[in-house]
Amino acid sequence: MSSPSSSSALHRVALCGNPNTGKTTLFNALTGSQARVGNYPGVTVERRHGLLRGRDDVDVVDVPGTYSLTARSADEQIALDVLLGVDDGGRPGPRPALVVVCVDATQLARSCYLLIQAQELGARCLVALTMVDEAGDAAPDPAALARALACPVVPVVARSGQGVDELRAAIGRALAEPPPPVPLRWTPSPALVEKLARVRAAFPDAWPVSDGLALWALASIGDDELDHIPPAVRAAVAVAAPDARDDDEAVLGRWAWLDAHVAPLAERPPDRRLTDRLDRVLLHRGLGLVVFAAVMFVMFMSLFAWADPAITLVEDLFAWVGGHARTALPDGVVEDFVVDGLIAGVGSVLVFLPQILLLFFLLGLLEDFGYLARVAYLMDRIMRSMNLHGRAFVPMLSGFACAVPAIMATRTMERQRDRTLTMLVIPLMTCSARLPVYTLVIAALFPVGSFGGLSTQSLLMVAMYGFSVVTALIAAWVLSRTVRPLRARRLPFVIELPPYRAPRLRDVLRMMWTKASMFLREAGTVILVCTIALWALLYFPRELPAEAPRYDDLIAAASARDAADEVTVLERARDQALLEHSYGARMGKAIEPAIEPLGFDWKIGVGIIGAFAAREVFVATMGVIYGAGDDEASLRDRLRDERTSAGARAYPPLAGLSLMVFFALACQCMSTVAVVKRETGGYRWPLFLVAYMTALAYAASLLVFQLGTLLGF
């Protein structure tokens, strides 16, 4: 998100803190924004801006959560850049006038470590003491903590709004007062003092001349992945020859001070008995996996079973709108465009909005409850066996909603190798864009039945989600052993397990609507444009070859005889002939020899071509192709009733399974390719992603259809 326009009267306030300290919730409360919040580390991966409520001259920046400013990963570098006044391109600018540090009252000493580092950089600081409701009687006295930290302390409960007005007033007072000098809390050794002086001398003019920044340079620069570090600073660090003892000296010095002056202010640890009881079950190596499998099973079963009545309702609504539009509009191109292009195309995608809303709602509940962080910890052993970092699980699980924010969430991982490997397998997770395709194919091509008292169609939906997870893990294992840049020693996995919290319905619904709005905007822009283009390709040139029957003359003759049934048959035959001679049909027939072994015909081929812009376009394309027929029949019925020239089903269940496998593995989302290009800084990995996923999709789909045919399915 871009920052507000710069102004000499604009005060910038940076909102920092450890992950999961309520920072983004507080940002929303201070600014009235709608930023996403979550009960697991790594939700914020970019800086966000918003004006402080009641002040149009105070710009609040929500900084990614970090435990320290020893920046080696992308999210920690963003935090440091904000404190230094460096923009996204590495250009220097004004430093924040104030840094508000969120300090978790239940983890007091640990949260204050980041505050000490910010003060060492020379920043004017203010403490927002969060989670005081969870700490209860164990929360420290704000006045005593303020004296120890030499900065104001305001207790807040951002979820309920308690203390937010007082914090807003304290920000105004802090901006009006000169910052008090805060010396180092510990005494560095003479050898370290010499190194600090050498590094400080190489700082550019825009950097603050502080021991804290010199300590950061000694601890971070070297074996790093940091951008826009001046060459002179890198050279000075190399000459100073830092070693692990320099960083240890600073870390131990800070912690010694925290243990002596801050830790005693917390009277006793907060009561975590309920959390511990739940963790004994949910984190158990055996029972925990059973619970996780059951949760995922119920969630994905519900996507088909619970949302089906709403899908039918929306489907009937669009059929009603299309019927009235056809009645109101005169015959011709305009009628066909509105009914078969706009309503049938976009409507066939929007009909799956209930499922997407339900998916986001259930994921939001699990996240807000604090369960997703436990699942990441629980899955670490499996992830480690596949050469994936344990922290990759949260972005991969987020991939069930959308691959784009999930890929951005990989910034919380320390090494570029781990980030790249995770980016390459996240698109294999079944995102919400595949959900319309699965739902259409399952409902249209697979018979309704039950197995063990459960719907076979719902079980098939669950199986497709399970297939995506297994495929992603296997792909990570293969890529990490065959692609040289992805080979590396695995780092240990450390994640904070937040306390369980009752999900806040307002935040869950806000997140659900934000994600659904993204889908609606895509349906109103990308999908709409693609639908119009595909409608034009499938509608024109409206000419038949000379040897084709003269349908218009035959229809006129039948009308003269009042043969209504014959007129209907002739009109359908004419529309089918025009469709098969359209530009789009020619494209589909051109690739038909390549996709016929997968069980697909030219109509499916046209849908696959359109789906490379966005997967949902496949459903819109099929809606356009079959929109020229009977308006009363739904797209599901038309696909189910489609027949070949020999009278057999054009799309048997085996072809449907082959199609779902293809869509599960193919990289048909240009937004995903674009964000991988941005995150990796080039075209190498995006092109590799498209190539390997397309080849994998074709090979797997071919295997499914051909093997199924041999077995008699």
The whole-number pLDDT of residue 517 equals 76
163 vs 45: which has the higher pLDDT:
163
153 vs 403: which has the higher pLDDT:
153
Share of the chain above pLDDT 70, in %: 87
Average pLDDT over residues 569-584: 84
The whole-number pLDDT of residue 697 equals 96
Instruction: Extract the tokens encoding 461.
Output: 């939906």
Confidence of residue 655 (pLDDT cuts 50, 70, 90): very high
The whole-number pLDDT of residue 171 equals 93
How confident is the model over 282-341, as pLDDT tens digits?
Answer: 888 888 889 988 888 887 777 767 777 887 788 788 878 888 888 888 888 888 788 877
Flag whether pLDDT at 233 surpasses 70.
yes
DSSP H or E stretch at residue 710 = helix 684-710
Q: Which of 587, 584, 613, 635 lies closest to 443 in space, CA to CA?
A: 635
Flag whether pLDDT at 710 surpasses 90.
yes
303 vs 19: which has the higher pLDDT:
19
The whole-number pLDDT of residue 402 equals 77
531, amino acid identity: T
560 half-sphere exposure, CB direction, 13 A CA radius: 6
Average pLDDT over residues 537-560: 85
The whole-number pLDDT of residue 428 equals 94
Flag whether pLDDT at 29 surpasses 80.
yes
The whole-number pLDDT of residue 166 equals 94
d(Cα 664, Cα 552) in Å, to the nearest integer?
43
Share of the chain above pLDDT 90, in %: 21
Instruction: Extract the tokens encoding 469.
Output: 């997870």
Return contacts of 593-600, CB within 8 angstroms, 24+ apart.
597/702, 597/705, 597/706, 598/658, 598/659, 598/662, 598/698, 598/701, 598/702, 598/705, 599/651, 599/652, 599/654, 599/655, 599/658, 599/659, 599/701, 599/705, 600/655, 600/658, 600/659
d(Cα 39, Cα 58) in Å, to the nearest integer?
28
Q: What is the DSSP string of 326-385?
A: HHHSPTTHHHHIIIIIIIHHHHHHHTTHHHHHHHHHHHHHHHHHTHHHHHHHHTHHHHHH
Q: How far is CA 542 from the centre of its chain?
A: 43
Flag whether pLDDT at 1 surpasses 70.
no
Average pLDDT over residues 672-688: 87
Start-end of H helices in 449-525 = 456-482, 505-524
The whole-number pLDDT of residue 385 equals 80
Q: Which of 598, 660, 642 lies closest to 467 in space, CA to CA?
A: 660
The whole-number pLDDT of residue 5 equals 41
Confidence of residue 269 (pLDDT cuts 50, 70, 90): low
Average pLDDT over residues 10-20: 87
Confidence of residue 92 (pLDDT cuts 50, 70, 90): low
How confident is the model over 30-82, as pLDDT tens digits?
Answer: 988 765 554 444 444 566 788 888 888 889 988 888 878 776 655 567 777 88
11-185+244-265: in CATH 3.40.50.300: yes
Residues of the chain with CATH 3.40.50.300: 11-185+244-265
User: Are 241 and 222 a contacting pair, CB within 8 Å?
Assistant: no
The whole-number pLDDT of residue 522 equals 62
The whole-number pLDDT of residue 40 equals 40
Average pLDDT over residues 385-397: 79
The whole-number pLDDT of residue 272 equals 66
Instruction: Extract the tokens encoding 163.
Output: 């203390």
The whole-number pLDDT of residue 656 equals 94
Confidence of residue 633 (pLDDT cuts 50, 70, 90): very low
20-24, 270-274, 285-289, range with the lowest pLDDT: 270-274
Report the mean per-residue pLDDT for the chain. Answer: 82
How confident is the model over 440-450, as pLDDT tens digits?
Answer: 899 889 988 87
The whole-number pLDDT of residue 620 equals 76
Confidence of residue 7 (pLDDT cuts 50, 70, 90): very low
